[in-house]
Amino acid sequence: MDPQLDSLVDALVDGERERSVEIVGELLQGGLRPVDIITGGVERAMAGLDRKCTAEQFNLLEIMLAGRAVMAVIRRLFPEDATLPDPRARVVVAVLEGDIHDIGKAILKILLAGSRFRVIDCGKDVPVSAVVEAVTRSEAAAVCVSGLISSVVPQVRTLKSALSGAGLGDVRVLAGGAALKQCTAATLNVDYVGQTAFDAVSYLESMVEARLGRR
Amino acid sequence: MDAVERIRRTVAFERCDRAPVIAQVFAHAAVATGRTIDEFVSSGAVAAACQLEARARYGYDATFAVLDLTLEAEALGGGIRTRPGVYPAVSRPPFARDADFARTPVPDPRTAGRLPMVLEMAKALRAAPGGAFVVGLVQGPMTLAVQFLGMEEALSLAADDPDRFLELLDFAAAVSEAFGVAQLAEGAHLALVFEPAGSPEVVPPAFFREMIGPRLERLFTSFRRAGALANWLHIAGRTAPILPLYRTLGSDIACFDYCVEPEPLLPKLDGHRVCLAGNVRPLAFVTSTAEEIAAETERLLRLFERRGGFIVSSGCEIPPESREANVAAMVRTAIRWSGSQT
């Protein structure tokens, strides 16, 4: 592996935005293709971040800084639309009506983008119907909802059936965030409850691999 | 033994009749007594009446002089979003990144926004018969800092320009201090410092120790000078790495959330006379049965029987929509517990 790619991985994990972009510039000048920088740099950094951020060590500050560096690198590599090519799947993220705390969603969005998922952000304080509409429009494979306050629990419980009602019963529903992670998947009527944003990414990666394996 | 004496002795690790039970009931007091959350957060008198009625019904040891967690940002001109049936939330931070925090005046708790309602509440709760312990509440410097600027913006500032971030943190600490001292003056026995943004889930423990810790220490010193019976630090989430620091910062009571296992924590607190308050899972009051809550409460009481220095409580706020039978189960189990406090 190119030692400069190793330096990029370290810079990204440490959240050094300017240094990361600088290294990417050097790698491009050296003739490396953007796609190789993604697989050899960004994806390895995301994996390294995942290992570093066990449930006990997960903290928003470090994740946010690393995510900020990853997004700067993606913007440098793909200035047209700031998303990675050849996405693994489309994922809708949302904070449901009644809750306007969206830092958890922002973190998840960054991790998903860095892991080659195409993210459709529904925003915060959105009704279940808007989420269903976004899934229909984007043909997303999954929905991730983040909830900091307990009053959103009743709405989360209705999401799966609202999707089924729209003929989207095979769309996976994931939940996380301070309030929702206290619940079981059965209580929330969702497919999965993640303790951290990385759990959600791992779940979605496994889901994609399983679907590819079935083809 | 009245509630104030029970809590005083427990915090001092002295013998008392039973472990105190402090249900973290805020707006649940409104829901349980037939009022709306909107009524609760709009009037200190109504909120105090709800607190007193709920305490009379459940029988726990403390009432809270708390409305919601937007008061400080609102008093500084932040945008607040209200919606029936849920707490108000900060929809627009009061400051931009380039604000001059060093020159921004601290809002006067006696006149700014709804801050005076909390003072009115503290006074009414303290004056009420029944001898309840009155807990005031301020948000800690880090929590206010992220409210004042927005979470992402505040964390970015901390990373990009630590000196400016410390100015923000100092301003936030001054807001906490003024509000807490005013609550104590009106009758609160203590002013709990609610600092969820200091959790290791938000910032690394070193950040807490070096940037937040010194400001908390000054806050606790000031509260003690203002007559606080004790100091109480409340940080949600996985706080095990920072809990051993609380006592050295001047906190007598430490909340521990549902995700902190007390068994491995206790040896780390050897020699720290910090009273622990917790840690029934907050959402369990909504989703579990009364039997499950009672069993969990009993498990905690048994665990702390020998150590003492324990207050039966939830890991964080008991959600407004909680089942009344569940709150009652925690309180009843604590009151009937036959174990002794040392």
ipTM of the shown complex? 0.88
Which pair of tokens denotes residue A14? Answer: 């440490």
Query: Which pLDDT score, from 0 to 100, does residue A55 have?
Result: 60
Contact B285, B325 (CB under 8 A): no
Model confidence at A107, in pLDDT bands (50, 70, 90)? confident
**Mind spelling out the 3-state secondary structure of A108-132?**
HHHHHHHCCCEEEECCCCECHHHHH
- Helices then strands, counting H and E runs in chain B, come out as 16, 9
Provide, as residue numbers in chain B, all residues whose Cβ is less than 8 Å from the Cβ of A150: 282-283, 286, 319, 321
d(C-alpha A58, C-alpha A50), whole Å: 9
For the whole model, what pTM was predicted?
A: 0.91
Give the CA distances from residue B72 to residues A91, A196, B79, B183, in Å, rounded to whole numbers and listed in that order: 36, 30, 11, 14
Mean pLDDT of chain A: 90
Average pLDDT over residues A79-101: 83
- Strand ranges (E), chain A: 90-94, 118-121, 142-146, 172-176, 192-193
Average pLDDT over residues B209-217: 98
Peptide bond preceding B279 in cis form (omega within 30 of 0): yes
pLDDT tens per residue across span B4-52: 999 999 999 999 999 999 999 999 999 999 999 999 999 999 999 999 9
Res B338 pLDDT > 70: no
Q: How far is CA B76 from the centre of its chain?
A: 21
Give the CA distances from residue B334 to residues B60, B313, B340, in Å, rounded to whole numbers and listed in that order: 9, 10, 11
pLDDT tens per residue across span B167-182: 999 999 999 999 999 9
Give the CA distances from residue A211 to residues A43, A172, B125, B144, B165, in Å, rounded to whole numbers and listed in that order: 20, 12, 60, 45, 46
Q: How far is CA B200 from the centre of its chain?
A: 17
Nearest to A105 by CA among A155, A51, A48, A147: A147
Res A190 pLDDT > 70: yes
Q: What is the distance in angstroms between the Cα of B89 and the nearest Cα belonging to chain A?
A: 7
Q: What is the distance in angstroms between the Cα of A59 and the nearest Cα belonging to chain B?
A: 4
Which pair of tokens denotes residue B119? Answer: 């003072």
Contact B192, B143 (CB under 8 A): no
Q: What is the distance in angstroms between the Cα of B319 and the nearest Cα belonging to chain A?
A: 7
* Interfacial residues of B (vs A; Cβ cutoff 8 Å): 81, 83, 85-87, 89, 91, 151-152, 155-156, 158-159, 200-204, 207, 236-238, 258, 281-284, 286-287, 319-321
The owner of tokens 């104590």 is: B184
Res A138 pLDDT > 90: yes
Query: Which pLDDT score, from 0 to 100, does residue A60 have?
Result: 87
